[in-house]
Chains A and B, each alone.
Chain A
Amino acid sequence: MRMTTDDRSLGLAAAGGDAAAFAALLERHYDRMFGLAYRLTGQQAEAEDLTQDICAALPSKIRAYRGDAAFGTWLYRVTVNAAHDRRRRHATHAKAAKGWGDWEVNRQAVKSEAAAAQDWMQTAMMSLPDTLRDTLALVLDDLNHAEVGAVLGISEGTVSWRVSEAKKHLRALKGKETT
């Protein structure tokens, strides 16, 4: 999360209506945004839909960017919120309730050995409650706990607690696997 001042001023320019700044920012951050979307949803298709949602809404959202937070933090925040929205919608329809769902796990399982590590990851991520998974998705993105806290709007302590909870979950899962 090393966002340069350059990002911030580009963000402010975009908020003020500068289309070139907006385009430059989006180019720069698209891949990371997509990466996070993938970690949050667990499926490439979902991640692409989510990224599309964000791209469609970003022009109106960026007007609210005032440079108080680093642009990357701000964008991650938008991404996490969009993922929540999406999850909530899905939950309402009781379809594809979880991104890390059975379908994906089965599909990955068929892809067999090469995906063994990924399988474990799928299962591990799937087993976590939403809040822990979101937190972990950000931690795995090499953000430190303070930065994750800024994105999620929670304290650093809460992030650390969530990470240790997540580890507990994973430990339990490993225990189950090995027995």
Chain B
Amino acid sequence: MTDDLDDLRAAMKAATPAPDTKAKGENIALARKNFATLQGSGDAARPKSNRIWTGVKTMLSPLTTRGGRGGLVASTALIAIGFIALNPQLLEFGAQPEAVTLPVNVGQEPIEMQADDQFNGAVVLEEAPPATTLATPKATSQRLNRSAEAYDWPEVRIYPQPAPRPSIVLPEGDAVATAPAMERDTEAFPDAAANPLKITSEEPVSTFSIDVDTASYAVVRNSLMSGVLPPRGAVRAEEMINYFPYAYPVPEGDVPFQPTVTVAETPWNSDTQLVHIGLQGAEITERPPLNLVFLIDTSGSMQAANKLPLLKQSFRLMLAQLRPEDEVSIVAYAGSAGQVLEPTPAGERSTILAALERLEAGGGTAGQAGLQQAYQVAEDMNAEGEVSRVILATDGDFNVGLSDPAALEDFIADKRESGTYLSVLGFGRGNLDDATMQALAQNGNGQAAYIDTLSEAQKVLVDQLTGALFSIANDVKVQVEFNPARIAEYRLIGYETRALRREDFNNDRVDAGDIGAGHTVTAIYEVTPVGSGAVMADPLRYGDAVPGDPDGEIGFLKMRYKAPDEDVSQLIETALPEASSLSGEAQFAVAIAGFAQLLRGESALLDWDYADAIAMANGAKGDDPFGYRAEAVSLMRLAQSLSE
């Protein structure tokens, strides 16, 4: 039947019109103008009012210069204006989201230089004084610093909609450029810069929320297995470290978790030390009945073998872990929409499996209010003393009825208050929206896990199911105060998206991560003692004498947590110990921390390389009953060869 295609090809050739010359000229001019605007934009941000106006101009000029479709142009423009009035900070229209991928020479040069040296008179800057074109993208990198919600929506685009809402848009081009061989079109990763080095005398206190997500490690593994180094933004050190279970000392008595702190020399820098903080959650012996509502994405993109079919298999594995008194319900969105399975006792396996089998991927339309329905079902199922959780399984299409990310988060946070939590399981690569997954799970007091193989499903849904579904301590925050007389500088490894403001530590209304039953959580600081050769910043010439007690401890650790169902937090305090050596468990965590930093290409590691990471991890594999650590070592080897 090549005839058909040939016919079609000929017809297509004949039908394809030449581009409108006027439109072409305008479009190219627009692109060049935006290009010039972007290039000149690395400088300091200007006052907001100016930026808004520049933004409006940038945005409206392409719309108003077009002739011929007056009606469309007018309505679009009007709505755009209304939208700005509502929400000025969404104006990073066309702004560069990947702040860290900026070529170094671009952001730092003043635009006049470029006009002389590079543009060569070829580009006429329509915005006359260079200063007025400088602002837009800077705001994006500023947003990275919002502490309480420090993850960053990748890019916000403005759509002409009746109720204008920002949507998440992906860096498409990026996908092909980094990994042409892999099916990755609309992935979005939060791109937080690594935590900067802090000077103790200026900022002695470091505060963050714990993080029990593991998605980053699985994404990294998936990338490496496909022969590509993972995108930098996908590597989150804390999630890679916390992927592994560690055997830290178990809590005794009533406390839900036990902190263990070790200070030891840094493997990659003998002039600095690592402060390793390990939290071990208590195991629970008796658990309350569980109500699980699975909210399953059945959109067309879920059809791939590593998505819906894998989800079904994973689900089967998990079912065996549930007890007869637990209840399961399934709500699907897109494809087969609505409640697919009424709340059913977990004992009725055949009913549940039959409902699961009926799920089919197909259709692109979003099921309206899928999430609301799932929560409704969860609330109806909830009874005194039971635990309810919505588990969202998706490949990244979060079009679940609420298309505004902020409203979606608010909705989930609101439901969290009413006692229904949310966990997110990511499947497949392609349009995995890692940033959104993380944000949703964070707001829902749940875990974000990424499932790419059946063995990962085994880990998340079988081996660690209790931990994932039953939290034993909520809103766990960590605050470390360093003694400036002992520690000159410090740096928290990972937790970039989990930073909290200092005052939020004592504010019980500020949400933070939860520790599940038997979970371990690890945080690692690299600290530079006073007088060490590795101190980066010179002391101030006109500063006062450094405060603090040179004979005191090096620092003080405080943690706050809420017992489940309680609103008032409790405090755990302990002084940081003097330097000793790392336990085997801590050594493995440090090796993974080093691995993550190597993948992110961070400079703090000096000449420590993959070979060192492999040696260190190999020496600290311990029992490794599930083989997770052995797998990590082989991933390090893969990364080593890929990076050569």
Write the B612-631 contact mask toward A (1 if CB under 8 angstroms, else 0): 00000000000000000000
Which residues does chain A contribute within 8 Å of B123, judged by CB atoms? Answer: 19-20, 23
**Is A91 part of the binding interface, using a Cβ–Cβ cutoff of 8 Å?**
yes
User: Which of B170-178, B247-255, B268-276 interfaces with chain A?
Assistant: B170-178
- How many whole Å from A2's CB to the nearest CB in chain B? 17
CB <8 Å contact, B118 and A19: yes
Q: Are the CB atoms of B8 and A66 closer together than 8 Å?
A: no
Q: Which residues of B contact A57 (CB under 8 A)?
A: 34, 94
Partner of B36, one of A19, A60, A150: A19
| A66 lies within 8 A of B177 (CB) | yes
Nearest A residue to B65, CB-CB: A52
In contact, B27 and A63 (Cβ under 8 angstroms): no
Q: Which of A31, A44, A64, A91 has the most CB of B within 10 A?
A: A64
B320 CB within 8 Å of chain A: no
Closest 9 CB pairs of A and B: A81-B172, A59-B35, A64-B174, A121-B11, A55-B31, A34-B19, A55-B27, A61-B173, A59-B34
A171 B184 Cβ-Cβ under 8 A: no
Please report the C-alpha to C-alpha distance between residue A23 and residue B102 in the assembled complex, in whole angstroms: 19
The reply to whether A63 and B103 contact each other, CB–CB distance below 8 Å, is: yes
User: With the chains together, A57 CA to B34 CA distance in Å?
Assistant: 8
Indicate whether A92 reaches chain B with its CB closer than 8 angstroms.
yes
Q: How far is the CB of B117 from chain A (nearest CB, A)?
A: 10
Contact A60 B94 (CB under 8 A): yes
B403 at the interface (CB under 8 A from A): yes
Asked if B146 is at the interface (CB within 8 A of a chain A CB), the reply is no
Residues of B1-57 at the interface with A, using a CB-CB cut-off of 8 Å, are 1, 4-5, 7-12, 14-20, 23-24, 26-28, 30-32, 34-39
Interface residues on A, range: 35 or more
Residues of chain A having any CB pair with chain B under 8 Å: 14-20, 22-23, 26-27, 30-31, 34-35, 38-39, 44-45, 47-48, 51-52, 55-69, 73-74, 77-78, 81-82, 84-85, 88-89, 91-93, 117-118, 120-121, 124-125, 130, 136, 139-140, 150-151, 153-154, 163, 167, 170-171, 174
CB distance from A13 to the nearest CB of B (A): 9
Chain B residues lying within 8 Å of A23, measured Cβ to Cβ, are 28, 32, 35, 122-123
List 14 A-B residue pairs with CB atoms under 8 Å apart, sorted by A's residue number: A20-B120, A22-B35, A23-B28, A30-B19, A44-B20, A47-B19, A48-B19, A48-B27, A55-B30, A56-B31, A64-B101, A64-B177, A81-B170, A151-B176
Contact B28 A62 (CB under 8 A): no
B288 in the interface (beta carbon within 8 A)? no
Residue of A nearest to B179 (CB): A68
Chain B residues with Cβ under 8 A from A56's Cβ? 30-31, 34, 62, 94
In Å, the complex CA distance between A125 and B185 comes to: 23
Whether A153 contacts B118 in the complex (CB less than 8 A), given A39-B16, A117-B14, comes out as no
A68 contact from B14, B105, B119, B178, Cβ within 8 A = B178
